[in-house]
Homo-oligomer: A and B are copies of this chain.
Amino acid sequence: MNRVGIIGHGITPFSKDDQKIETVLLNSAKKLFKSNPEINRKDVDAVLVSTNNNSKYLSPVLSEMAGIQPNTSHTIESLCNSGTNSIVSAYSYIASGLADMVLVSGAERYDSPGQILEWDNSRGEYKHPIFWASIFAKSYKRKYGISDEQLAVVSVKNHKQAKKNPNALSNKTYSIEDVLNSKKLTDDLRLLDCSRPCTGSASIILGSEEKVNKLSEDPVWITGIGQKTISAGFVKNISFSSMESTKLAGQAALKMADKSIENIDVAEVHDAFSVCEPMALESLGFSKDGQGMHMLKELHETNNFKINPRGGLIGTGHPLGATGIAQTIEITQQLQSNAGNRQTKNPQAGLVHNMSAAATSSTVLILEK
């Protein structure tokens, strides 16, 4: 299999802007080409767009606006997990030899139709994601004896880290009390436990070994890929206090990269809601079951940005189609020691975890210098 790496990237601030999806998409692609002038647009073999937006033919539209005439062009959707699905597709195009360079651009508007899965009637009329997240939170807290106060650390930590991220939606710091006093949305979740929908875009360009070595001064390689789909409906989950698809995707990605979880120095995990962060850490093997909050508390108290350095979905905002790409850009920057004052200490290997719809499907990527 051909080696696949990252050549360049571009990202917009995450906001509540009311722009057309085509404009949002173009913004991060323009940034990418501006900060990577060595990339010849004629050499872009494929353009993959990641979004839940209902507008059609967005890849040829983006290509026309960006001055690209790719061979392959299409949109990829899998709810919150669209971005890393697109990166995996780009990887397969390059590894198969069908393409040498692939642009992956993700974008979403704050009013994305991907926020609710209409098909899933498993929680009756309670279709908004906060209801599955509440079931997760109640189940997780009960099983491991975690209090609301303990769980609030996730939000406090991620908002703190987001303050160091110039593209984050939030730039406020919050205390445990602020989280506990924020609007109670369900029995188990408050406003500050939730990531917020927003408008944003992120673009990344992947290449074959030859292209990466030619065009990147500081190559980062995708060495591990794991994906798993358990179901689409929430109640098909085996457990409400762990993420089965994440566990399987994580194991597959580590195996492909020939790494163990102890080798991972920095990670982006999918904290759509606060409870998802300790659950993901446990399912990925970063900590034992029920110990995720202990790990996160220690990281927070020692100001260690190892988990979700850019501020997670809670601090950065969650423009669905852009999220997986933004996570991958963050790990790339971390590995390149280019993450400003979010920088973790000399990481050699990083992990991206992206999931959809109560972790009914997950993608895990391993990136290395």
Interface residues of A (CB under 8 A from B): 1-2, 22, 47, 52, 54-57, 59-61, 63-64, 69-79, 81-82, 85, 88-89, 91-98, 113-114, 117-119, 225-233, 236, 249, 252, 356-357, 360-361
Contacts and interface: CB of A to CB of B under 8 A. Distances in A.
Nearest to A229: B73
A70 B360 CA distance: 11
11 contacts: A55-B119, A56-B117, A60-B229, A60-B361, A69-B229, A69-B231, A73-B361, A74-B89, A88-B98, A92-B96, A93-B96
Contacts of A236: 64
A71 B225 CA distance: 10
A326 to B, nearest CB: 18
A178 to B, nearest CB: 33
Which of A2, A54, A77, A117 neighbours the largest number of chain B CB atoms within 10 Å of its CB?
A: A77
Given A74-B76, A77-B75, A98 B60 contact: no
Contacts of A361: 60, 73
Given A59-B229, A69-B230, 7 more contacts: A1-B96, A57-B119, A57-B232, A60-B229, A60-B361, A69-B229, A71-B252
A64 B96 contact: no
Contacts of A59: 78, 229
Which of A81, A82, A229 neighbours the largest number of chain B CB atoms within 10 Å of its CB?
A: A229
A118 B55 CA distance: 8
A29 to B, nearest CB: 14
A60 B231 contact: yes
Contacts of A233: 64
A97 B81 CA distance: 22
A229 B48 CA distance: 12
Contact of A92 (B93, B226, B228): B93
Contacts of A249: 71
Contact of A79 (B54, B56, B95): B56
A345 B137 CA distance: 64
A45 to B, nearest CB: 9
Nearest to A114: B56
B78 A75 contact: yes
A222 to B, nearest CB: 11
Which of A60, A69, A70 neighbours the largest number of chain B CB atoms within 10 Å of its CB?
A: A60
A113 B114 CA distance: 16
B97 A85 contact: no
B252 A113 contact: no
A2 B82 CA distance: 26
Which of A1, A73, A76, A97 neighbours the largest number of chain B CB atoms within 10 Å of its CB?
A: A73
Which of A70, A117, A227, A232 neighbours the largest number of chain B CB atoms within 10 Å of its CB?
A: A232
A101 to B, nearest CB: 14
Given A60-B357, A64-B232, A85 B91 contact: no
Contacts of A64: 231-233, 236
Nearest to A244: B69
A202 B71 CA distance: 24
Given A60-B232, A64-B232, A119-B57, A72 B227 contact: yes
A92 B1 CA distance: 12
Contacts of A94: 96
Nearest to A228: B71
Contact of A96 (B71, B76, B91): B91
